[in-house]
Amino acid sequence: MVQPVIDSREGPVARVTMARPEVHNAFNKEVIAALQSALDALRDDANVRVVVLAGEGRSFSAGADLDWMRRAAAWTEEQNRVDAVALAKMLRTIAEFPKPVVARVHGPAFGGGAGLVAVSDIAIASEDALFGFTEVRLGLVPATIAPHVIEKIGPGRALPLFLTGERFSANRAAQIGLVHQVVAPADLDDAVDTIVGALLEAGPDAQAACKQLVRTVAAADRSEADAYTAALIARVRTSPEGREGIGAFLEKRKPGWHP
């Protein structure tokens, strides 16, 4: 049986690639489970510093598999809830992953595919990428991806796109904050490698703290945010990694984590 997701390692970089090009890397139960399994393994791998999400073939991911949706329509509401919980868990795993996650986006990224872009920390898109929260055109809603999309681009930008299901360009995705950078198709891999290289120069514990920092501050009121951020920087400054980083800077040398 062909694996729906390929997990490969290149030193400290793990590449998780959706491998169903014949159906534009559409989501189904097996793809969701394979992504979850790969992420669970990478979380505990101390040798992995950065994860790159990608798709084989002409698309990043065209969203939900039509055969999967056709079968789901005949399931009970409880069966559908269990199925949706698995997708929600996988998306939350990426959003709260302790290591940086970079999405390499080309071609269509619709529905759940656009949701994968939203949960990634940094998305680099080719100029030929096309995005859309297209669920309403099937009489559905972008339910499980909504918390992540709204967090990434804000409710004012998310709602019109949810309501129309319209497709939009990579440049538009960059304007609204869904995508970090847009490059020519021929430059996509170089741009991803450049971002990965920059990520590898940073302290891994500091990066994990930054991810938690953004989530906590975004959800906290001002007094809670101030107390939390003060306690955080106090802890980080006195941590082994913080001391190593400052020491390396003052001594004009590369820190210990530098590749």
33 and 86 Cβ atoms separated by less than 8 Å: yes
- Picking from 171, 192, 179, 108, the residue whose alpha carbon sits closest to that of residue 149 is 179
159 and 142 Cβ atoms separated by less than 8 Å: no
The reported pLDDT for the residue numbered 65 is 85
Reduce the DSSP state of residue 3 to 3 states and report it: coil
The radius of gyration computed from the CA coordinates of the chain, to the nearest angstrom, equals 19
The reported pLDDT for the residue numbered 79 is 80
The reported pLDDT for the residue numbered 238 is 82
The reported pLDDT for the residue numbered 42 is 96
User: Distance between CA 117 and CA 101 in Å, rounded?
Assistant: 10
110 and 62 Cβ atoms separated by less than 8 Å: yes
The reported pLDDT for the residue numbered 1 is 55
pTM higher than 0.75: yes
The reported pLDDT for the residue numbered 81 is 83
Reduce the DSSP state of residue 5 to 3 states and report it: strand
Q: Per residue of the chain (259 residues), what is the pLDDT tens digit?
A: 568 999 999 999 999 999 999 999 998 999 999 999 999 999 989 999 999 999 999 999 998 887 877 787 777 888 878 878 888 899 999 999 999 999 999 999 999 999 999 999 999 999 999 999 998 888 888 888 999 999 999 999 999 999 999 999 999 999 999 999 999 999 999 999 999 999 999 999 999 999 999 988 888 777 776 777 777 777 887 889 888 888 888 899 999 988 7
The reported pLDDT for the residue numbered 59 is 97
Domain spanning 5-200: which CATH class is it, in words?
Answer: alpha beta
- Label residue 217 exposed, middle or buried (CB < 10 Å: 0-12, 13-18, 19+): middle
